[in-house]
Amino acid sequence: MDDRLFILPGPIRPPNGLPGKPAGAREKKPATSFDQVLDAQLQGGSVRFSKHAADRMESRGIRFSAGEITRLQSAVELASARGSRDSLVLLGETALVVSVKNNTVVTVMDKEGLKGNLFTNIDSAVIA
């Protein structure tokens, strides 16, 4: 028989102290919450503006009235009904490139920005 004494180490714990999670692991939050998705569905999927479009509107001083937003929504619905994916919507003296499938305005240009410009990657144009 062997009379040596063996000392076993205590349990090994993850550095963050939570069992079963690797060090540095974070909980992933959904990109959109259920409430946001529900609100969008209840609102009838109104047109949203991307950050880029909102920045362009701010820098160019472009503002839309409630009536213009309604006309924009109608134009996007028309484009969607015809199977468009990306559309150029002409709203007065303003041009908007809209991702129809995402219901999102991608960029906005005023009358001055339209001069000498070429629009690519669109499959339709709607005059609202």
- Give residue 64's Cα distance to chain centre: 20
pTM of the model: 0.64
Is 61 in contact with 99 (CB distance < 8 Å)?
no
Distance between CA 14 and CA 18 in Å, rounded? 6
Per-residue model confidence (pLDDT) at position 98: 95
Print pLDDT tens along the chain (128 aa): 567 776 767 776 766 655 555 555 555 555 556 665 555 555 556 899 999 999 999 999 999 898 999 999 999 999 999 999 999 999 989 999 999 999 999 999 998 888 888 888 999 999 98
Q: Tell me, which fold does domain 46-127 have in CATH?
A: YaeB-like fold (3.30.2310)
Per-residue model confidence (pLDDT) at position 128: 87
